């Protein structure tokens, strides 16, 4: 019995065997293993699974700072971050929002202003005591009457001495006891009384003038002090309004700062992520490149099969199949199966 079989041309069959060898070699290179040449020398390393797999960029310091500012603005404490920069915990905070200190300060200034206005009212009301026709009396010197009494007593002493001088002159002139002496005594006493009254009036006027000036001075000082207190109250009220405005403005300023930091952090995070993605893509290209080349090699072989010549061989003759023919037939079948599953022929 004879058997006829066909097989590819030798150059095609050799290319198929080489392809199978290369595929077997590549399939045996696990991620992270060494790449060796035909002589067993290490010429490179297969990218690891970590290099081939996706990665997430770590949070950066800008994003962390924005998160910390947001937490502080909300009255929270210090944030703690994990190895990848993620928030892992929040510390004990004050519980006071970022704008609250300005509100508290505004309240404090407003309270101070109310107190100051009250003091100013009291001061201005007190100025009334230094005005009016009786205001001077509280500034009259308690020693003024003593001064007047002493001055008038001395005046009386001197007046008596003058009267005695007038009598002596009358005796010397031989007119003592006469009408002329009486007239002279009366004129002297009248002039003395007028001088005494003028002296007393002058002393009283001087005391009144001084007391009145002091009353006017006290009135002016009191009014000035009240005005200063009013101005201080207005300033405190203005500071309270300013602090209140700051309390309203602070959240938007803080939000803007947080937003700017967050945007910068996001931009930096996107760049870091792009770098990691590029490294992953590079590792995947490095890993897949030999398979791609081998695929092109296999596609080239497959494209030549349709136009390549085949060899036809006939073995044996008529009659029963001998042992040699059975062995050859079994070997060819095994070769065909091995070619299909990637084994050698």
Q: What is the total count of domains within the chain?
A: 2
Integer Cα distance of 332 and 6 in angstroms: 10
> Contact 343/21 with Cβ under 8 angstroms?
no
Residue 87 lies in a domain: no
Looking at the fold, whether 126 and 240 belong to one and the same domain comes out as yes
Buried b (16+ CB within 10 A) or exposed e, 132-152: eeebbeebbeeebeeebeeeb
pLDDT digits over 260-298, tens only? 999 999 999 999 999 999 999 999 999 898 889 889 988
Tokens of residue 154, six digits: 């001395």
Do 130 and 224 reside in the same domain of the chain?
A: yes
Same domain membership, residue 315 and residue 222: no
pLDDT tens for residues 226-263?
A: 999 999 999 999 999 999 999 898 889 899 999 999 99
Look at residue 81 and tell me if it is in a domain: no
36 shares its domain with 171? no
Does one domain contain both 106 and 189?
Answer: yes
Q: pTM of this prediction?
A: 0.51
Asked if residue 144 and residue 52 are part of one domain, the reply reads: no
Residue 215 domain flag? yes
* 164 is a domain residue: yes
Residue 104 forms part of a structural domain? yes
Same domain, 294 and 158: no
The residue segments making up the domain with residue 121 are: 100-258
pLDDT tens by residue, 107-150: 999 999 999 999 999 998 888 888 888 888 888 777 778 888 88
Residues 28 and 115 in one domain: no
Over residues 296-323, the mean pLDDT reads 69
Q: Is 337 exposed, middle or buried (0-12, 13-18, 19+ CB in 10 A)?
A: exposed
Residue 330: predicted pLDDT: 42
Name the domain boundary from 223, 258, 293. Answer: 258
Same domain, 249 and 291: no
């Amino acid at each position: 019995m004879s058997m006829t079989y066909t097989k590819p041309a030798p150059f095609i069959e050799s290319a198929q065997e080489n392809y199978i060898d290369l595929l077997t070699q590549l399939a045996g290179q696990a991620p992270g293993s060494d790449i060796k040449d035909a002589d067993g020398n290490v010429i490179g390393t297969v990218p690891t699974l970590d290099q081939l797999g996706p990665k997430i960029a770590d949070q950066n310091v800008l994003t962390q700072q924005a998160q910390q500012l947001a937490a502080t603005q909300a009255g929270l404490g210090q944030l703690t971050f994990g190895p990848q920069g993620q928030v892992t915990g929040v510390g004990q905070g004050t519980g006071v929002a970022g704008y609250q200190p300005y509100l508290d300060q505004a309240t404090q200034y407003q309270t101070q202003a109310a107190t100051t206005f009250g003091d100013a009212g009291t001061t201005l009301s007190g100025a009334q005591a230094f005005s009016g026709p009786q205001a001077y009396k509280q500034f009259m010197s308690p020693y003024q009457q003593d001064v007047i009494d002493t001055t008038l007593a001395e005046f009386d002493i001197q007046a008596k001495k003058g009267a005695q001088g007038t009598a002596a002159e009358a005796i010397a002139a031989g007119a003592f006891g006469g009408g002329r002496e009486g007239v002279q005594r009366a004129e002297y006493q009248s002039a003395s009384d007028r001088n005494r009254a003028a002296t007393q009036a002058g002393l009283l006027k001087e005391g009144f003038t001084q007391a009145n000036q002091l009353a006017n001075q006290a009135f002016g000082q009191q009014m000035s002090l009240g005005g200063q207190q009013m101005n201080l109250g207005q300033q405190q009220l203005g500071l309270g309004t300013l602090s209140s405005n700051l309390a309203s403005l602070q959240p938007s300023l803080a939000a803007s700062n947080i937003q700017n930091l967050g945007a910068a952090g996001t931009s930096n995070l996107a760049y870091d992520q792009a770098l990691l993605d590029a490294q992953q893509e590079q590792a995947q290209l490095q890993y897949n490149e030999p398979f791609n080349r081998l695929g092109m090699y296999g596609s080239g072989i497959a494209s030549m099969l349709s136009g390549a010549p085949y060899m036809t061989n006939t073995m044996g003759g008529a009659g029963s199949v001998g042992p040699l023919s059975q062995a050859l037939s079994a070997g060819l079948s095994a070769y065909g199966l091995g070619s299909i599953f990637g084994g050698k022929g």
